[in-house]
Structure 1
Amino acid sequence: MKSENHTNRQGRRSFVRGAVGLGALAVGGVVSRACGPSGHAATDGSAPAAAPPHRVQAPAAGPPAAGARPPTYRLRPFAGETSMGAPAGNPAVRTHAVYFLEDGGGRIALTFDDGPDPVYTPQVLRILAQYNVQATFCVIGENAVQYPQLLHDIANGGHAVANHTWTHPQLTKLKPAAARSELERTSDLIEKVLGAPPDWARAPYGDWNPATLAVCADLGMEPLGWSLDTNDWARPGTNSITKSVLRDVKDGTIVLCHDGGGDRSQTVDAVRDYLPRLLDSGYVPVRPEL
């Protein structure tokens, strides 16, 4: 039986299609901005690949993505932005992603991108289970379709499964129909495997614009950003990753890490190091709430 939240999302999709579909998808302008070279690739071939025991058939592709993947750099969010309000009872199309948790109180969000990965995702899950904390895993569809059991493992651990597109393109470089296909295929897969679509979507490189934010809302998702980038994608060393978290964390911080896209052994070691220290300092890792 569908949950009340899922029913609300279905209503949200219908409303936004009518209210936004005719105009918002044609709107230009980028909400996030580039702040120098950095980023993460969807895969670099370094992680061993195991044959999937139960491969799920991929949802049919929509319009092909335009061009190749962008260079490995990261787009960072503006500081201090707030979301656009909406009349009571009407869904809002956000003007940007969610960068901080509301009502901090020591609550933070650990997020992991580019999985699921058969080597590193289970290691991260074991550490989180050891300390009984929750996190959010932003999965790439072409990885998730190979390892559906890992989606179950994530959900069974009490963690959130978020949409990180199908192939990890820079959405703002795509036509709206292609961007929609990237998000919709992954949502459909997650719903097929777990029985419910995701509540959150994270754009590769953190790059949203009005058109892709409208697509995100139309699919019933909220855009998830971050306020602390560990830069673990660059493999700067376990100590560097740990120090960046312990130095910059504060109430409401959303921490960006990676459990896929390459060798994530440094990330695993860093989580093992900083997580108990965060707990000792009074921080409580949670799933972001709508």
Structure 2
Amino acid sequence: MSMSNTTDFTNPTIFILLGIPGAETAHVWISIPFCAMYAMALLGNFTILFIVKTEPSLHEPMYYFLCMLAITDLVLSTSILPKMLSIFWFNSREINFNACLTQMYFVLCFSVIESGIFVAMALDRYVAICDPLRHSTILTSPIVLKIALAVVLRSAILTLPFPCLASQWPYCRTNIIPETFCSNAGLVNLACADTRVNSYYGLFMLFGVNGLDAIFIVLTYTQILRAIFRLPTKEARRKTFGTCSSHLCAISAFYIPGLFSSLVLRFAQNVPLHFHVLIANVCLSLTHMLHPIIYGVRTKQIRERFFQLISHKVA
């Protein structure tokens, strides 16, 4: 370590990431499932992008948003896992101050982007089921592009205050972060300053952005389910609901692990720190791996195209 964890300093040039504190001797073994999840996330999401790009029948709003989701998962997993694996394998714990802020920003920004993409996908399903005759005229390519830009700009702007605030704080306690990546909470715990503005803004993001996204999705699917139940036959209801199932599974894979991690952090106070850090990282990494699997298994067009590619290569 180039900086002592007991020396007073206000402008650290580096932070020290501990990885899974208290489980250092098991880092190599812990790295195996994380490496596997990262490899599957890369393979799965790149496969989704390739299939949608090369199959003209998939050039529709639903699959454009799916490509956005795949890119977001790639960026999020790559923002976290390579550094995590370098800690596990090479004990490479140092991270530059600016790199730390950049990593924190990317994780926050693309997490909010992911939430916005699910809102856009819910909107697409709503129009496709509740107003199918006008789907192609409402969600045209220019409209889809504008929605995508709005999702990205909203996230980029709203999450910018977090690194801006963190860059202004003095850090006089320690430069050691007992995590695998630079999180906002990790930097707040190290700051020797009044961080209430950050806390208030974090609550605004939680309830005013993520909360509203979740409410919009729930209301949208309430209308979708009402439209489905009005269909005349059971087969029609089953087939129509099947077009939403992959989206619902992907939403569950996004929200449920995060909720579980938050509940463990809040209520399991007697659980060792390394368990909290491990659970948080598993929940975060698992999501990026599950999305392409969900859409590959639940979406007929992607599944058929995937098997065509496999059979063509085998032949």
TM-score band by shorter chain is under 0.3
Higher strand fraction (1 or 2) = 1
* TM-score normalised by the chain length of structure 2: 0.22
Higher helix fraction (1 or 2) = 2
Q: Computing the radius of gyration over CA atoms, which structure comes out larger, 1 or 2?
A: 2
* TM-score normalised by the chain length of structure 1: 0.24
